[in-house]
Structure 1
Amino acid sequence: MGADRIEGEMGSIDAYESAKGRRYRVRWRDPEHQQREKRGFRTKREAEQYAATVEVAMMRGTYFEPSQSRVTVGELAIDWLANKEQALKPSSFSPIRIAWRVYVEPRWAATPIGAIRPSAVEKWIREVSLGKAVTVRVRPGNGGKPRSAGVVLRALGILAGILDVAVRDGRIPSNPARGASNLPRKATKKRRRYLTNEEVFRFAGRAPDDMRSVLILTLAYTGIRWGEAVALTVGDINLERGRLSIHQTATEVDGIIHVGPPKSWEARSVPFPAFLAPRLKALASGKKRSALLFPARAGGYLARPSTAQNGQSWWLTALRDAELEHLTPHDLKHTAASLAVSAGANVKALQRMLGHKSAAMTLDTYADLFEDDLGSVAERLNERVLSESGGELWIQRQVVQLDPQSSH
């Protein structure tokens, strides 16, 4: 059989006898150094061509082992979800976990990754969008409500993320959940509504007690998040410097408070206006440095108020009493950005104040604020020129030089 055996760098080809006559098989070692083989080739040339494709695929890093593609989405999801849970904050992981359980798992958990086709993924995208996909809430044959683009894209992102790992591991050659032709478009975001100073104080004045009144003012004039505010302790206040030390957040997820680092994972110092100092001092008076500044009535962290339309929380009641439109605690972060920009804050200072990762993120988020500020830039430049010594006289001389007729 030596004459029928071909040795190569990546493997070998040899002949064997079968019930249908002579056949050839290809043997090689995969990137994990596991012995693999494929048999049944009728001619040596067919075997050589297949061996060549395996060699090229391994050289290019596109090799995959067909038998490995029989693993299911659900099997790969176990580690994928565990890795996400480790890397993300509970508040960020919770919507991923819910989307997996509600939308992705019912359709794909039992499906071998090698059996997924792009057309099947696109059909699923359409069904989820229309509310016709089978979920934990929708049974076969029953229709549900159409889903928003955000819901659909999150579910698709989970499936695509799991299959990305399969591609990297060499289980499948490409990701069938990438490049779909029928991705839904997110609706244009509503223009943010920013409260004025008068509206902020009107809202704070309708709060049920002094503590929650100060809390509203703190949110609106520092830009910190709700979870960061309710995690503040007396020791986090520096009245002399007018600073709040933000180093932890208390975020409620599925009814449980999770205490951890801020959203950016970095502690920061946030300025507050002087008018807040006596109010914060009054709240801190007589308390230990470790005591919460805005505690719940029964102790512990103050729960985020419900902002569901037509709800009866203290937050919504105060809004109605102040005759203000519906807004959430996070909307006060936007108000803080607006008030800071109108007071002359530059983008870098605003970035540090709001806890954004970069100034680019701040610009992307609040581009409308800086666009509105462009007109005032020209006004300030004009005022500066006119205020300079002889500035107005110099401008008049330039006008005369450019248009001699203007002197007549």
Structure 2
Amino acid sequence: MASIQKRPNGAWRARYRDDLGKEHARHFARKIDAQAWINDVTAAVVTGSYVDPKRSRVTLEAFFEDWSQRQVWADNTVTAMSLAVRGCTFARTPLGQVRRSHVETWVKQMQSDGLAASTIRTRVSNVRSVLRAAARDRLIASDPSEGVKLPRIRRAEHAMQVPSPEAVGAALNAAPDWFRLFISLCAFAGLRLGEASGLQLGDIHFLKRQMHVARQIQRAGSGTIKITPPKHGSERHVFIADELVTMIARHSEEIGVRGEEQWLFVGPTGEPPHQNTVGYWWRKALKDANLEPFRLHDLRHYYASGLIAAGCDVVTVQRALGHAKATTTLNTYGHLWPTAEDRTRAAAADLMTTARGLTADSSRQSATSTA
């Protein structure tokens, strides 16, 4: 509902009520300007782009604090979202004033600070979800981050580092006894760092040669840890080799397990080790083995590449790694699977080998008959 009235002082008062029943009014020297303003508001309401000018004064940071309380998130999602919003250069800018240029400037700054392309993309995606929520609540007309160009991520086949069997073996030999099993769980069962840290003796089914990945350890700050479920879709059972089963049994007997939970690994405080502790021992093992640095997480790639080389299909690899979707497995490791061209060449080679073998056998039989 809108109206225009002339005031006693000669000014024109335009007013309207929004969908919440709240009245908004402005004064103009000319009636034509008042009518133009009302027309703009009416068009915005009809097209669904109407924004309450007072509500749009709330900052991105303030809106996030309110909106995030209503979201059903895992602890690590809360941490990641808060980190992205707090580090955003326009966090304290009123939402109604945020422009595409603000987002572009932020992206450029992160790139100048040396952040990896994947990190920049993740942080922008997190902030974008907040901006889109604000747009749905009509605090802003549209998402100002839409269409902002982001740095390219290297293709998986170029960015991924898969260590050689020799490097994995050297790291194992250089590691202290307790840490040798930790490395083996990452290299031969595909566990993430936090998943290996959170392993308990009860998670191992020795007769079935099976391991239950039921939790992960995360660093909570000031040297403390928090125990959380695995990443979404990552709780799983991993079928493990006989030799790894034997290693776990020997570790539990010789090194021992700790606490009522029977943790397989503990850090200096008697709790499961977090990423800082594990990182120290991993770097030390690489140095002692005279190896070029590579990440402990690369052992997970080593495991995945071994499964693929052995002929495992996408779903098998997905379940072993704990990926929530098969598309994640394909996007990460698709380049390691044989292509149609590879299969065609292999099939043709088999045909040639079979045909030549039969021809050779026929020639030998013919020669024998003649003799």
Of 129, 132, 136, the residue aligned with 1:164 is 132
Of 162, 165, 169, the residue aligned with 1:201 is 169
Q: CA deviation at 1:157?
A: 4.3
**Cα separation, partners in 2 of 1:177 and 1:379, compared to 1, 3 Å:** closer
Q: Which amino acid aligns with 1:25?
A: A
Of 248, 270, 274, the residue aligned with 2:215 is 248
Partner of 1:25: 14
SS state at 1:328 partner: coil
Deviations 1:102-147 (A, max 9, x none): x42xx434422222333344345445544xxxxxxxxxxxxxx555
Q: Which amino acid aligns with 2:61?
A: G
Moved more, 279-288 or 167-176: 279-288
SS state at 1:87 partner: coil
Q: CA deviation at 1:226?
A: 1.5
Moved more, 246-255 or 111-120: 111-120
SS state at 2:146 partner: coil
SS state at 2:54 partner: helix
Partner of 1:117: 99
Q: Which has the higher contact order (CA 8 A, sep 6+)?
A: 2
Of 284, 293, 297, the residue aligned with 2:264 is 293
Q: Which amino acid aligns with 1:73?
A: L
Contact in 2 for aligned 1:27/1:37 (Cα 8 Å): yes
Moved more, 244-253 or 353-362: 244-253
Moved more, 354-363 or 283-292: 283-292
SS state at 1:282 partner: helix
- In the alignment, the residues of structure 2 paired with residue 79 and residue 34 of structure 1 have an alpha-carbon distance, to the nearest angstrom, of 22
Contact in 2 for aligned 1:201/1:217 (Cα 8 Å): no
Partner of 2:51: 64
Q: CA deviation at 1:370?
A: 1.1
Contact in 2 for aligned 1:340/1:350 (Cα 8 Å): yes
**Cα separation, partners in 2 of 1:373 and 1:299, compared to 1, 3 Å:** farther
Partner of 2:60: 73
**Cα separation, partners in 2 of 1:120 and 1:272, compared to 1, 3 Å:** closer
Q: CA deviation at 1:50?
A: 4.3
Q: CA deviation at 1:227?
A: 1.1
Contact in 2 for aligned 1:24/1:42 (Cα 8 Å): no
Q: CA deviation at 1:382?
A: 4.6
- In the alignment, the residues of structure 2 paired with residue 78 and residue 108 of structure 1 have an alpha-carbon distance, to the nearest angstrom, of 15
Structure 2 alignment gaps of length 5 or more: 363-371
Q: CA deviation at 1:270?
A: 0.5
Deviations 1:331-378 (A, max 9, x none): 111111011112221111000000001111101101221147963674
Matched, 1:216 2:186: no
- In the alignment, the residues of structure 2 paired with residue 55 and residue 128 of structure 1 have an alpha-carbon distance, to the nearest angstrom, of 40
- In the alignment, the residues of structure 1 paired with residue 281 and residue 15 of structure 2 have an alpha-carbon distance, to the nearest angstrom, of 73
- Counterparts of residues 330-369 of structure 1 (less than 5 Å): 330-369=297-336
- In the alignment, the residues of structure 2 paired with residue 63 and residue 204 of structure 1 have an alpha-carbon distance, to the nearest angstrom, of 62
SS state at 2:163 partner: coil
Partner of 2:148: 180
SS state at 1:245 partner: strand
Deviations 1:182-213 (A, max 9, x none): x444456654332344443332122111x321
- In the alignment, the residues of structure 1 paired with residue 226 and residue 282 of structure 2 have an alpha-carbon distance, to the nearest angstrom, of 22
Moved more, 226-235 or 172-181: 172-181
- In the alignment, the residues of structure 2 paired with residue 123 and residue 297 of structure 1 have an alpha-carbon distance, to the nearest angstrom, of 43
Structure 1 alignment gaps of length 5 or more: 1-10, 131-144, 397-408
Partner of 2:75: 89
Q: Which amino acid aligns with 2:175?
A: A
Partner of 1:260: 228
Contact in 2 for aligned 1:234/1:289 (Cα 8 Å): no
Partner of 1:235: 202
Matched, 1:54 2:31: no
Q: CA deviation at 1:163?
A: 2.8
**Cα separation, partners in 2 of 1:266 and 1:129, compared to 1, 3 Å:** closer
Contact in 2 for aligned 1:69/1:171 (Cα 8 Å): yes
Q: How many percent identity over aligned positions?
A: 27
Of 317, 326, 332, the residue aligned with 2:284 is 317
Please give the TM-score of this superposition, normalised by the length of structure 2. 0.80
SS state at 1:366 partner: helix
**Cα separation, partners in 2 of 1:271 and 1:377, compared to 1, 3 Å:** farther
CA RMSD of aligned residues (A): 3.5
Partner of 2:237: 269
Contact in 2 for aligned 1:17/1:23 (Cα 8 Å): yes
